[in-house]
Amino acid sequence: MLAVSGCGSSKNEALKRYVQQVNAVASGMRFELGQVAAVNASFRTSADLAALAPKFARAQRSLGTFAARLAALAPPPEAKPVATTLAKLVSVERALVTELHRFAVFLPAFRKALAPYSRAVAAFQKAARVVKTAKEEASVVDVYANALSQPLAALAQLSPPAVLAPTYMTQVSLLRSSRTTALSLAAALRAGRAARAHALLVHLSQIAVSGGSLSAQRAQIAAVRAYDAEVARATTLQNRAQLELVHLQG
């Protein structure tokens, strides 16, 4: 976050007053902006996302207040470029904190939503080892297909942050494909269509590893790179704002 240097000599009183006002806004929110920086840093080391979520919410509010106070200033014509840079900087910082807040809220809920899926897979594998007839196997597959409805319903209630959207969509697609294939497999078993049932069983096994496909990995990498690009953009804007403020004070 921006750390404005002290005001030195200015070209005129209007510029001097504006720089002093920017300093005053930053100084008046020194604690809040320090907390924003601290919670951003803690995200890299903390595994307790649930505890971080309310801190990110407070950081969002702090940056909103900071943006509003900066926007309330009336820069003279010579200071409008730096005012624009400051507005862009705070906007990008707010967007990044919002993304981290969504991440901290989403990921624990995402893991919780998928827990029934892991249990369903384990139960299906255990039951499939002891079935003796196609009818019994069809019933086991039906139970598995129906068990997937719960995680699918839970996932439908979630809204992923951009950086995790590819992972989320891949998981939803995997569960939907698994359920559809399982229902078709149960029907083929009941109909005595052995070849069809075998093909569907192979397909069901392949779906389980599709989440690690090259296309899914590429989508996730692209999302992370987009986030990193916004972090780099914030750094660039911060450096530009510092230089522009120094220039105004020259």
Predicted local confidence at residue 8, as pLDDT: 45
Q: What SS3 state is found at 209?
A: coil
Query: What's the mean pLDDT in 131-155?
Result: 94
Predicted local confidence at residue 222, as pLDDT: 82
Tell me the pTM.
Answer: 0.78
Q: What is the pLDDT of residues 163-212, one digit of tens each?
A: 889 889 989 999 999 999 999 999 999 999 999 999 999 998 888 766 55
What proportion of the chain, given as a percentage, has pLDDT over 90? Answer: 50
Cβ-based neighbours of 4, under 8 Å, separated by 6 or more: 19, 22, 23, 26, 242, 245
Predicted local confidence at residue 7, as pLDDT: 45
When mean pLDDT is compared across 22-31, 44-53, 86-95, the lowest value belongs to: 44-53
Query: What's the mean pLDDT in 22-46?
Result: 82
Domain ranges of the chain: 13-104+233-249, 108-225
Cβ-based neighbours of 24, under 8 Å, separated by 6 or more: none
Query: How many other CB atoms are there within 10 angstroms of residue 100's CB atom?
Result: 23
Q: Measuring CA to CA, which residue among 105, 89, 19, 94 is closest to residue 62?
A: 94
More confident residue, 34 or 5: 34
Query: How many other CB atoms are there within 10 angstroms of residue 210's CB atom?
Result: 14
Hey, what's the torsion of the CAs at 34, 40, 43, 46, to 10 degrees? Answer: -10
Query: What's the mean pLDDT in 131-153?
Result: 94
Q: Is it the case that residue 214 has pLDDT exceeding 70?
A: no
Average pLDDT of the chain, as a whole number: 87
